[in-house]
Amino acid sequence: MPDLDNAKLREAVLGGDWKTAAAVTKAAIAEGVEPLAIVTGCLVPAMDEVGRLFECEEYFVPEMLLSARAMKASMDILRPLLAAAGTEPVGRVAIGTVKGDLHDIGKNLVGAMLEGGGFEVIDLGADVSAERFIEAITKSNANLVALSALLTVTMPAMKTIIEALRNAGVREKVKVMVGGAPVTQQYADSIGADGYGESAGAAVALARRLVAA
């Protein structure tokens, strides 16, 4: 089995160089490297490192967005190959910014980090109603829901969504994680969420814990 040029792809992701990330990925596939080995052997650890650098404030939002774009460029090539090979993701997460809220930068970062962490991400966008979450869970068999809110006035929509999941009979099928600048652990507990993460890096560790539980 040919070896992947791990260092080059890792460097491209950490450096936010999407063109090199795509080129190295294509070359590795052409040489016969397993798509899953590229994800688990390189993209996941590289995005873990991006999360760590963000946590310790060596990276900020712009660097993170560039790394996420590089990771996505590689994933765009790998995703169809993984699907064709029937590779099971770590988990399936339906992510969205709650109804009434248009802030999606943080949600996009969390989604990118989760994808880099080996999750299948069903991105519902911003201003997402409870009904759309329920539909996505039912259709895609998601086992995780990630809710983002940036406005104090839209935070209560998280509670509405959790209640709607319960009323629709799907609450037991999924773990719900919440985040966004005004959200706290205390708030997450008060609305019956399963977890709270304060950053995109923390979201991956939290999602892994929740699906393993």
- Candidates 179, 187, 191, 210: give the one binding ligand B12 (CB under 6 A): 179
| Binding of ligand B12 by 66 (CB under 6 A) | no
Report the alpha-carbon distance of residue 49 to residue 29 in Å, rounded.
Answer: 24
| Binding of ligand B12 by 143 (CB under 6 A) | no
We find the least distance from the C-beta atom of residue 133 to ligand B12, in angstroms, to be 13
Please say which residue, 150 or 162, places its beta carbon nearer to ligand B12. Answer: 150
Q: Three-state SS across 91-158? A: CEEEEEEECCCCCCHHHHHHHHHHHHCCCEEEECCCCECHHHHHHHHHHHCCCEEEEECCCCCCCHHH
The 3-state DSSP class for residue 195 equals strand
We find the least distance from the C-beta atom of residue 155 to ligand B12, in angstroms, to be 8
Please say which residue, 7 or 61, places its beta carbon nearer to ligand B12. Answer: 61
- Among the listed ranges 80-88, 116-124, 128-136, 145-153, the one in contact with ligand B12 (CB under 6 A) is 145-153
Contacts of 19 (CB under 8 A, 6+ apart): 73
- Among the listed ranges 13-21, 34-42, 148-156, 159-167, the one in contact with ligand B12 (CB under 6 A) is 148-156
- Candidates 43, 82, 162, 177: give the one binding ligand B12 (CB under 6 A): 177
At 111, list the tokens: 């989604």
- Among the listed ranges 34-42, 99-107, 128-136, 159-167, the one in contact with ligand B12 (CB under 6 A) is 99-107
| Binding of ligand B12 by 199 (CB under 6 A) | yes
Sheet holding 92-97, edge to edge: 120-123, 92-97, 144-148, 175-179, 195-196
Closest of 161, 149, 160, 130 to residue 197, by C-alpha = 149
CB 20 within 8 A of CB 8: yes
Can you give the binding site for ligand B12, defined by CB under 6 A? 61, 100-107, 109-110, 146-148, 150-152, 177-182, 197, 199-200, 203, 206
